[in-house]
Amino acid sequence: MLTAKLSAIDLTLLRGERCLFEGLEFALNHGELLLLQGANGSGKTSLMRVIAGMLSLESGEILWDGEPVSRQRQSFHGALVWLAHQSGLKDDLTLVENLRFERALRPQSSVEPEQVFVRLGIARLKALPLRSLSAGQQRRVALARILLADVPLWLLDEPFTNLDRDGRRLVTQLVEEHLADGGLCVLAAHQDVEISATVKRINL
Amino acid sequence: MNDSARTQPGIFYGLVAITRRDLLLAWKRPGDVLNPLFFFAMVCTLFPLAVGPSAEQLTFSGPGVLWVAALLATLLSLNSMFMGDHEDGSLDQVLVSSQPLPLLALGKTLAHWITSGLPLVLISPLLAMTYHMPADVVGVLMLTLLLGTICLSLLGSIGAALTVGLHRGTALLSLLILPLAMPVLLLGANTVSLAADNEMYSTGMWALGAYAVAALSLAPYATAAALRISNE
């Protein structure tokens, strides 16, 4: 347990009167995927927010490198990137302007942004404000943010939403590459996900 | 994936980046910036029309009216400080960044001041003319407004952060901020009045400056803590 890169001990989360989960534990190592599954409203996003350090727990602790996340928030946040339900991008700004701001928030990889744009099929949308992009295209821009970050831990909340079949296949590929590269990934999805890697499941 | 090889962005890079982004957004949506400014200009020009053109009365009430209008205009603009970021999820992204949150909050406050406080200071001489204010008093007015709007933006950021998750939090935000903003209003308006009466006014200026420095050193931390709480 203590050797795991990312682990959780005895997580209990109450939201209002409801107990979303109790005594939840997991341990995740390099190259492993944690799959959060469950119906709508079962607490996938809440667990994701807990891992990101955004929600305070009733009890329990998230550990990164064996150290509680609450005691090393800044360095932990520098090691993760989070694809949330909302894109977190500004409608009025272009793709490039949005991603330029992103550079200030977390370590960036040395990958050429142009290559990432081409791979995600958004290279020709660079000069447009995001509001003129479709929901799926905006999702691809959010994915570009993840690919351009140089961090070991990916938190993906419903990454397949709004994406076409090619897009979904691309996400699967990207996650597999990231895991093969020694990264970690926590992925919440309500449908089945086929990813060839070591997968640990949590059913909420 | 070697942890030590990753280079974290510099500390002040985040502050500069968030200020730049917000200024760019304001540039693309000038309406949000112009609204409080129009409000300020309107109150200040309508007041003399309602009270009548007596020069004595206008000189007497000028500092107070200008200062109250500036305070209300700032309060109007505060609500939107974190609202947009909260709605599109970019506030979440800022909260999980590797940058120190107080500095990012300071960056947002700085952008808010540049787009709402600074314009008020810059157009105030024009409006002061309607109140027959002599040039040297206009200088004092601008200086007090400069310090005062810095205070108000900083204090306001705490209130805006606390009420960010609430719908229609404007009234609550104003209530939260008013007790803290009251000294700013009193110091500002009285300093200008004293200057208009040719009396010693430097004490008020120093006090305003001290208030601004205190707000500058404390408000970012309070705002950061408030943002974490209201985003649970």
Which tens digits make up the pLDDT trace of A59-93? 888 999 888 888 888 889 989 999 988 888 999 99
pLDDT band at B226 (very low <50, low <70, confident <90, very high): very high
Partner-chain contact A107 B8, CB within 8 Å: yes
Q: In A117-143, which positions are buried (b, 16+ CB within 10 angstroms) versus exposed (e)?
A: bebbebeebeeebbeebeeebbbbbbb
Selected residue with higher pLDDT from B112 and A104: B112
Range picked from A81-90, A174-183, B145-154 for highest mean pLDDT = B145-154
The burial of A204, by beta-carbon neighbours within 10 Å (0-12 exposed, 13-18 middle, 19 or more buried), is given as middle
Cβ–Cβ gap A104/B3 under 8 Å: no
Parent domain of B108: 9-230
Query: Are residues A107 and B21, on separate chains, in Cβ contact within 8 Å?
Result: no
**How many whole angstroms separate alpha carbon A46 and alpha carbon B138?**
54
Alpha helices, H only, chain B: 11-28, 30-51, 55-78, 80-87, 90-95, 101-112, 118-128, 135-162, 170-196, 202-230
Chain B CA closest to residue A93: B25
Q: What angle do CA B32, B34, B39 make, to 5 degrees?
A: 110
Is the pLDDT reported for residue A2 higher than 90?
no
Q: Using pLDDT thresholds of 50, 70 and 90, give the confidence band for residue B9.
A: confident
Closest CB from B28, B29, B93 relative to A105 = B93
Confidence of residue B151 (pLDDT cuts 50, 70, 90): very high
Q: What is the pLDDT of residue B1?
A: 44
Residue of B88, B89, B98 lying closest to A74 (CB–CB) = B98
Domain ranges of chain A: 1-79+152-204, 86-150
End-to-end CA distance of chain B: 30
- d(CA A145, CA A89) in angstroms, rounded, equals 10
DSSP output for B90-158 = HHHHHHTSSS-HHHHHHHHHHHHIIIIIHHHHHHHHHHHGGGT--HHHHHHHHHHHHHHHHHHHHHHHH
Would the pLDDT of B102 be above 80? yes
A96-114 in b/e burial notation, b at 16+ Cβ within 10 A? ebbbbbbbbbbbbeeeebe
| Tokens encoding B61 | 């009430």
Q: Phi then psi for B122, rounded to 5 degrees?
A: -70, -35
Q: Is the pLDDT of residue B81 over 60?
A: yes
Query: Residue A25: which H helix or E strand, with range?
Result: strand A18-28
Interface of B with A (CB under 8 A): 1, 3, 6-9, 13-14, 16-18, 20-21, 24-25, 28-29, 84, 87-90, 92-100, 231-232
Residue with tokens 């309607």: B130
Cβ contact, residue pair B88, A88, below 8 Å: yes
Hey, are the CB atoms on A97 and B24 less than 8 Å from each other?
Answer: yes
Please enumerate in sequence order all residues whose Cβ is within 8 A of that of B104, keeping only pairs 6 or more positions apart, or say none: B14, B15, B18, B94, B97, B224
For residue B5, pLDDT beyond 50? no
User: Other C-beta atoms within 10 Å of A202: how many?
Assistant: 19
| Interchain contact A110–B (C-beta under 8 A) | no
**Predicted confidence (pLDDT) per residue in B55-80, tens digit:** 888 888 899 999 999 999 999 899 88
Coil, helix or strand at residue A70: helix
| Gap between the Cα atoms of B36 and B67, Å rounded | 14
DSSP state, residue A94: B
Alpha-carbon distance B39 to nearest alpha carbon in chain A (angstroms): 25
Cβ atoms of residues A44 and A188 within 8 Å: yes
Give the closest-approach CA distance of B8 to chain A in angstroms: 5
How far is the C-alpha of A159 from the C-alpha of B217, rounded, in Å? 40
Q: Which position has the token pair 């419903």?
A: A158
Please tell me the predicted confidence (pLDDT) of residue B6: 58
Q: Which residues contact B5 (CB under 8 A, 6 or more apart)?
A: none
Establish if B182 belongs to a structural domain: yes
Whether A66 and chain B come into contact, CB under 8 Å, resolves to no
Please report which confidence band the pLDDT of residue B3 belongs to, taking 50, 70 and 90 as the band edges: very low
- Does A101 contact B95 at a Cβ distance shorter than 8 Å? no
Here the tokens at position A76 are 């932990």
Q: Do B98 and A87 touch (CB under 8 A)?
A: no
pLDDT value at residue B168: 75
Between CA A102 and CA B209 the distance in angstroms is: 35
CA-based nearest distance B11→chain A, Å = 9
Q: Out of A52, A80, A104, whose CB is closest to B9? A: A104
Residue A86 confidence (pLDDT): 86
Q: What are phi and psi of B145, to 5 degrees?
A: -65, -40
The domain defined by A1-79+152-204 folds into Rossmann fold (3.40.50)
ipTM field: 0.89
Q: How far apart are CA B154 and CA B214, in angstroms?
A: 10
Residue range A89-140, pLDDT digits in tens: 999 999 989 988 888 888 888 888 888 889 888 888 888 999 999 988 999 9
Predicted pLDDT of residue A73: 87
Chain B partners of A154 at a C-beta cutoff of 8 Å?
none
pTM for this model (two decimals): 0.90
Q: Look at residue A172 and tell me whether its pLDDT is greater than 50.
A: yes
CB contact under 8 A, B98 and A78: yes
Residue A94 pairs with which residues in a beta bridge?
A129
Strands A153-157 and A18-28: unpaired
Query: Per the CB < 8 Å rule, is B13 touching A92?
Result: no
Q: How does pLDDT run across A7-66, given as a tens digit for each residue?
A: 888 888 888 888 888 888 899 999 999 999 888 888 888 889 899 888 888 888 899 988
- Closest alpha carbon within chain A to B101: A74
Task: Give the total number of structural domains in chain B.
Answer: 1
Q: In angstroms, rounded to a whole number, what is the distance separating the alpha carbons of residues B41 and B36?
A: 9
Per-residue confidence (pLDDT) for residue B214, from 0 to 100 = 96
Residues from chain B contacting residue A103 (CB–CB below 8 Å): 9, 17
**Per-residue buried b or exposed e for B77-89, using 16+ beta carbons within 10 Å of the residue's own CB:** bbbbbbbbbbebb
**Stretch B115-132: mean pLDDT:** 93
* A57/B contact by beta carbon, under 8 A: no
A98: nearest CA in chain B?
B21
Compute the distance between CA of residue B19 and CA of residue B99 in angstroms, rounded to an integer: 14
Instruction: Give the model's pLDDT for residue B80.
Output: 87
